[in-house]
Structure 1
Amino acid sequence: MSAADQPNSSSAAAGHRAAPLVGAYPASVIRKLNALTSNFYAREAASFSATRQTPWHGWEKAWEIIGERHPWPADQPLNILDLGCGNLRFERFLAERTDIPVHVAAIDNCPALVAPEGGLPGRIAVEFQTFDLVESLLGGVFADRLPHHSHDLAVAFGLMHHLPTFNLRARTLQGLASALRPGGFAVVSFWQFLNDPRLAAKATATTAEGRAAHRLPSLEPNDYLLGWQHAQGVYRFCHHADDHEIDALLAAAQQELDQSPFPGPTFHELARFSADGKQGNLNRYVVLQRI
């Protein structure tokens, strides 16, 4: 993945580095899985983006939940962190749902996915950064690269399943929560592809092929390699997180937040629901609010 991980000036001045994370796999295996995912998106960016043009149904429900809790003032800009922004279709969704100015800090490691901002109205201002989340997490500088206590909304859609190991997923949740001002909201999706028998069968077969092709060890439970359409030799790491794991991730993220060098108020879970796919069960959404 692309950019070197350089800490921002305020964090560098503080001299903080989070402890490096490894977890269930050696760092070398994590990097290999991450490289497979990165190469997949770099190679298939155009075809992948072409299939990712419409909003997810779950976004509408999450937006309604947040709006009922806290209607956005019409005279104040909405500050958003979009972690793993992809082709900015969430920003296009926002453009259709609100008339207030929106400032987005959009982060992804595949610039080829990011759609031209010409498709967005002028009141949706996007500042795009490219950096490798997994490398930042492994190097202990992930928190340094995110905003702190300043954003109204932080989202991660289609991201968590690409992060190898529980520890990396928990630290990412902690980073999202730390980005929020008190009263701010976070919305995170967890792809539950094993709920679809067809996807589950494909995942099992593709994982065996990918492990053999790349000499990978056995993967942890609910870890798989998925392919793409009829493309040959491309794989992406994907993890299925069930509700028990989501509970544990939230608890671990809260513990990380309590021990963070950027202390702040806690968060609580507002809602959890399933949406998307033909059966409405392919994504599990969690809506959080900082207190």
Structure 2
Amino acid sequence: MIRLAANLSMLFPEHDFLARFSAAAAAGFRGVEYLFPYAYEAGELRAALDDNGLSQVLFNLPPGDWNAGERGLTSLPGREAEFRDSLVEALRYAEVLDCPRVHAMAGLLPEDADADTRAAHLATYVENLRFAAGELAKVGRTLLIEPINGRDMPGFFLNRQDHAREILARVGADNLRVQFDLYHCQIVEGDLIRNLEAQFPHLGHVQIAGVPERHEPDRGEVHYPALLERLEALGYDGWVGCEYRPAGDTRAGLGWAAAYGLTP
């Protein structure tokens, strides 16, 4: 059975952030994800989960200076100490929130990156992922990497599914998996069912959104019922994160999700 998780960074923007937990639960969600927890005390978020019968399924490591345009530290040469500090912070939250997986955003390449620069970013990325996967393995948690399209996030180091598999092979950690966002994959390379099948042995999490506007999954060019049916047939038993920007009121736009147990 497909299990939908509400991405609270995007869904229910008509509510303040902490009120989005109860809004998600009222709509029938049983899991939540969001970009970052660090603006709130871990105990405050734990209480929001417990009060609403929700599971925390995913969040990201600190990304560097988000407001200045940084989008992750993992591949950035010279920022290794900061990356390790960010991992400590993420693990502290993951313990309190009982979150089984965290995503390490790769970060951006410089606009003028040449082959040597790319090689340095790759080496840093692999080494940081290897270290982080080892630390997460000690506490039974999974580390995720995510290919993100260069239209929404220009310069992002990791864009393609096959590149993600190459990174997994280089790192060689059993608890390093792929966060497969069908929205990003459609924009970069399409052929979603075949890409999903190829990536399935490496999946750690799945996310969805309509293409091209990133609204509800029943809007745009992607036929999500077929994709979710195939995902279920493959035996996926994880969460599917609803990481989209509602075109209007969130609850009013959830009609597509009634087939998966939600209550629009």
TMscore range, shorter length:
0.3 to 0.5
Query: So what's the TM-score if we normalise by structure 2?
Result: 0.34
Higher strand share: 1
TM-score between both structures, scaled by the size of structure 1: 0.31
